[in-house]
Structure 1
Amino acid sequence: MATTSLSVFMLVKTTQEWLGFSVEHRFELMRTQMEPILQKHAAQVSMRFFDIEFYSARVTDLWLWETDSHHAYELLVEDLRETPFWDRYFTIVEILPGVENAYAKNYDQAPLLSA
């Protein structure tokens, strides 16, 4: 049975505490607290970071996690929850897991072409 890729869209909002830090300090916190977690799980989980604050007041950023293993994603979240990035520097607004093109795979059909 083929592994189905999992994409998790994590909608987050920066907190006033995070915004109160200088830009240099924010990057230092990301390098020292978040990057080690990303490196630890890099073999199984990747992250993409999208800025949304230009277009939404509800969320400021979208963290896209991609993996072939639900368990690997769960372990990453467990590590992330042990840092201030989880509900201190960022409020986790919503977590939306999805499987790309499942509508086609489930019916053994080719997915629609995308540009």
Structure 2
Amino acid sequence: MYTIFVLYQALPAWLSLSRSQREAFFDRKTTPLFARFEQEVQVRLFDAEAFHARFSDVMMISCNDLNQYYVFMEALRDTELFSKPYIEVKEVIVTRENGFKPFGKVGG
């Protein structure tokens, strides 16, 4: 199992939208995309702006195959989140759950 943390910053174009406009955007664009890929990737969203100055949000994506993550991210990049742009990705951290376990069996 892989977990990918996508750390991003909401941009002024996003922040200038009203909260109802942001919610409508998610309902129209993002929620259907998440549903389309729900068998391949699981997505959770976290707010961080009150706790971190460089990243306003974190998207946590879990998957069993990094190709599934890749296809999901390409589809997400085709949305206005990236093209407007509404967000700027600052960092991506790919992790492997309990990665030390299989390594311990073969690596030492």
Q: Aligned match of 2:69 in 66, 73, 84?
A: 73
TM-score, structure 2 normalization: 0.91
RMSD after superposition: 1.1
Residue segments in structure 2 that go unaligned for 5+ positions in a row: none
User: What letter is aligned with 1:63?
Assistant: M
Q: How does 1:49-64 map to 2 (within 5 A)?
A: 49-64=45-60
Q: Aligned match of 2:5 in 3, 9, 15?
A: 9
Separation of aligned partners in 2, 1:45 and 1:81: 15
Residue segments in structure 1 that go unaligned for 5+ positions in a row: 109-115
Corresponding residue for 1:46? 42
CA shift for structure 1 position 36: 1.3
Q: Aligned match of 1:18 in 14, 30, 42?
A: 14
TM-score, structure 1 normalization: 0.86
Separation of aligned partners in 1, 2:10 and 2:33: 19
Separation of aligned partners in 2, 1:82 and 1:44: 18
Whichever structure has more helix as a proportion of its residues is 2
Q: Aligned match of 2:26 in 24, 30, 33?
A: 30
Percent sequence identity over matched residues? 23
Q: What is the number of residues matched between the two proteins?
A: 104
SS of residue in 2 equivalent to 1:54:
coil
